[in-house]
Amino acid sequence: MSSSDGFFYKVHELAKLIPYGRVTSYGAIARYLGASGSARMVGWAMNASDKNGDIPAHRVVNRLGLLSGKHHFEGTNLMQQLLESEGVEVIDYKVQNFEKLFWDPMKEL
DNA sequence: TGAATGACTTCGG
DNA sequence: CCCGAAGCCATTC
């Protein structure tokens, strides 16, 4: 439960490192952390991180660029609005031009 | 202890 | 790309 666990901590830190107007996927994060099979746990970490604050969880989507976590945000379109406010075009819960906006920690870091 | 759950991913059709 | 099924693993009941 301590923040020294590493996994949650790393997920939080990495989420904070996501550049403005860019997005990444749970799988990419999990892979970068060496937990390639625990993509779901990244989502779980995000669930906790949103309470933590300062975590741009809206920049993390599934591998299709779909806003799979929008239901966990307040309201019904907060996540989409946050992305659009950063210049990310979102249509029907999906990030447009996803491949171009995709931020891969393995490559970028 | 064991079964169910989930902000995912990959594979086959 | 859509659909179904299996794998994955921390958390919860």
Looking at the structure of chain A, the number of domains it has is: 1
Residue A72 lies in a domain: yes
Reported pTM: 0.90
Q: Are A59 and A15 in contact (CB under 8 A)?
A: yes
Q: Give the DSSP letter of residue A1.
A: -
**Gap from A84 CA to B4 C1', in Å?**
36
Could you read off the pLDDT of A48-85 as tens digits, one per residue?
887 777 899 999 999 999 999 999 998 889 999 999 99
Residue A109 counted as domain residue: no
Residue A107 falls inside a structural domain = no
Chain A residues 68 to 107 whose Cβ lies within 7 Å of strand B are 68-69, 71-73, 79
CA–CA separation, A103 and A29 (whole Å): 10
CATH of the domain at A37: 1.10.10.10
The parent domain of residue A57 ranges over 3-101
Instruction: Tell me what pLDDT residue A76 has.
Output: 82
Q: Note the CA–C1' distance, A96 to C9, in angstroms.
A: 31
pLDDT tens, residue by residue, A12-30: 999 999 999 999 999 999 9
DSSP A2-68: -GGGSHHHHHHHHHHHSPTT-BEEHHHHHHHTT-GGGHHHHHHHHHHHHHHSS--GGGEE-TTSB-T
